[in-house]
Amino acid sequence: MRFETVLFPPLLATAALAWNTTTKYAVKEPPLTTDWTYKVGTNPWPEYPRPQLERPDWQSLNGIWTYQNASSLNDTDSPPFGKPLANEVLVPSCLESGLSGIQTRDALYSWFSTSFTVPSSWSGRQVLLNFAAVDYEATVYINGNQVGFNRGGYFRFTIDATEHVTFNGTNEMLVFVHDPVDSEGSVIPIGKQTLRPSHIFYTPCSGIWQSVWIEAAPENYITQLDVDANMDGQVNVTVHSSSETSSPVEITLDGSTHSGSSDAPFQFTVDSPDLWSPDSPTLYNFTVKLGDDEVKSYTGFRTISKAEVGGIVSPILNGEPVFMFGTLDQGFWPDGIYAPPSREAMVYDLQVLKKLNFNMVRKHIKVEPALFYQACDQLGLLVIQDMPSLRADGVLPDDAQQAEFTRQLEVLINQHKSYPSIATWVIYNEGWGQLRDGVYPEFGLTDLVRSIDPTRLIDSTTGWYDHGAGDFSDNHHYANPQCGTPFYSINSSPFDPTRIGFQGEFGGIGQNVSIDHLWNVQQAIDTINQTYEIDQTLDAWRYRGHFLLNELREQTEKYSCNGGVWTQTTDVEGEVNGLLTYDRRILRPDQETWSKDLQALYDAAAGRRNRSVPTY
């Protein structure tokens, strides 16, 4: 069951005080809107946020909070307990976005505040406070006590708040957020975010940008589920518990109950399961019981590997070669920046890709809300998941910063390794933040990722500065592809036939549109002509797209191409090379033609299995 927050008299008094001193929430007009901008309302993202570990007794804390800017880390010496903050703000959102109601460019230090009640029926159980993501460092206070700290802008964290909440009144929560982005001295995972947006680098996201919720659990509760279900019906499970001691576990899947112990791997088998694939994304719901804790989850049966087929090293899905073809998916929104306006808006992009006949999406140096990966599982889209990169301006990490990058890479894998759709992990993109002066950390990081998750492929260095680590020989080239071919351009490397030939990025052709569909910021508009190629008409864009896809098909037939990534799903700020405009209101490709061109790619890969090995 789901509980709604009830305002008791003390909270009403606090709300009345805030009413008199706090600027009320309203959407700030962003430089460009979408069809969802003014449909968000004040109850955003009402869905349960963690679909692979779902508890029945929970309460969303999303909605209207209060916010004010802070000046430095020293502000944590005097938290504003019991004081109204300056502005109402929508949570979740990026402070830089119109949807937040703030739309600031000064968000290095911030205070957030809200009040909540805990249902009295939860008394005697643990009260877990969950944040799906806060960018970048979060210090959390409840009722005047510091209760937790988290570093890392893309990952969920949970605080056991049981000893700090009251069950018979309101609870005050403050969150202090520090987000240095790429300010001087800061080398942290940021992806495409920058304090100085320009062309392919965009507006940053600071603050509580994914859902917040509380839930009830027993004293010993499930903290994480690691599930891998393969094509042979074997299910490999680790149920992690808060006590970290072995306890009996029961899993009920497909009408059968299987027993094991927590905090250690165990296996069971399902006879002749329907397999998960892009063409048939079958999912199985199951429940897990640990003592008094019972959660819902799901999985899909599939096996991802690589093998030599017809003399070419290929990715393999369920025993058959798979030509993975998708878009570079940045995950930016003109009204929400990093935070999609809603689940409906987020899934719309994925549905467009499916209609165009893509079977994959490359989630580019960003991590999405858990519901994104669930949607990919449901729709049948393979995911190539990037680790968010360090800064791209040549400032490299010191030892401590490299260690933190490594820690967050581990968190990425551990929090996402149970989604059936994820097929490949990417460690470095185009050398951004990659040490390479005689030190090649991608080898050790590849081993680390493989030790955490041996069930997927690893693209250690997509695009540039490839020293031989990982499963892919990955080329980036605009606009034309160079996929598994005997020709290349620096900073990509010559094709390595002992690994999977892959076009990690290509295309990128642009077509300008009217101001109604552009990010209306002059600095961004001034960089449009930096797009890899500008096609002056939509007909010219469609001709070039068809031409480049045919070129990739020819490379697939003649050489060792095994997939690719088209740049990109949508326009973003000063880039106009999306299949969709930034507001998602114009689709550039002709759906029928594009779908046929992609099918020709898949057919070309399938048709070469018995041909002779290409020579180089």
* Residues 113-172 pLDDT 10s: 999 999 999 999 999 999 999 999 999 999 999 999 999 999 999 999 999 999 989 999
Q: Are residues 335 and 195 in the same domain?
A: no
Q: Are residues 403 and 501 in the same domain?
A: yes
Mean pLDDT on 492-512:
97
Q: Are residues 135 and 249 in the same domain?
A: no
Last residue of a domain, one of 188, 217, 246: 217
Q: Which residue has the higher pLDDT, 290 or 1?
A: 290
Q: Are residues 212 and 227 in the same domain?
A: no
Q: Residues 605, 606, 609, 611: what is their CA dihedral angle, to the nearest 10 degrees?
A: -70
Give domain status of residue 162, yes or no. yes
Mean pLDDT on 4-24:
49
Mean pLDDT on 503-519:
97
Last residue of a domain, one of 171, 198, 217: 217
Q: Are residues 369 and 226 in the same domain?
A: no
Q: Are residues 195 and 237 in the same domain?
A: no
Judge whether 105 and 96 are in contact, CB under 8 Å: yes
pLDDT at 610: 64
Averaged pLDDT score across all residues of the chain: 95
- Number of folded domains that form the chain: 3
Start-to-end CA span in the chain (Å) = 62
Judge whether 572 and 330 are in contact, CB under 8 Å: yes
Q: Are residues 416 and 518 in the same domain?
A: yes
Domain boundaries, position 264: 222-291
Q: Are residues 64 and 42 in the same domain?
A: yes
Q: How far is CA 286 from CA 77, 338, 369, 616, in A?
A: 46, 31, 21, 49
Give domain status of residue 316, yes or no. no
pTM score, whole prediction: 0.95
Last residue of a domain, one of 196, 217, 238: 217
Give domain status of residue 3, yes or no. no
pLDDT at 616: 53
pLDDT at 184: 95
Ramachandran area for residue 69 (φ above 0: left; ψ -120 to 50: alpha; else beta):
beta
Phi first, then psi, for residue 458 (nearest 5°) are -130, 125
Give domain status of residue 1, yes or no. no
Q: Are residues 462 and 552 in the same domain?
A: yes
Question: What's the CATH code of the domain at 247?
Answer: 2.60.40
pLDDT tens, position by position, 389-419: 999 999 999 999 999 999 999 999 999 999 9
- SS3 string of 268-299? EECCCCCEECCCCECCEEEEEEECCEEEEEEE
203 pLDDT above the threshold of 90: yes
Q: Are residues 206 and 260 in the same domain?
A: no
Give domain status of residue 311, yes or no. no
Q: Running DSSP on this structure, what letter comes out for residue 76?
A: G
26 pLDDT above the threshold of 70: yes
Give domain status of residue 613, yes or no. no
Give domain status of residue 468, yes or no. yes
pLDDT tens, position by position, 551-602: 999 999 999 999 999 999 999 999 999 999 999 999 999 999 999 999 999 9
Question: What's the CATH code of the domain at 556?
Answer: 3.20.20.80
Q: Are residues 103 and 232 in the same domain?
A: no
Give domain status of residue 317, yes or no. no
Q: Are residues 100 and 136 in the same domain?
A: yes
pLDDT at 168: 86
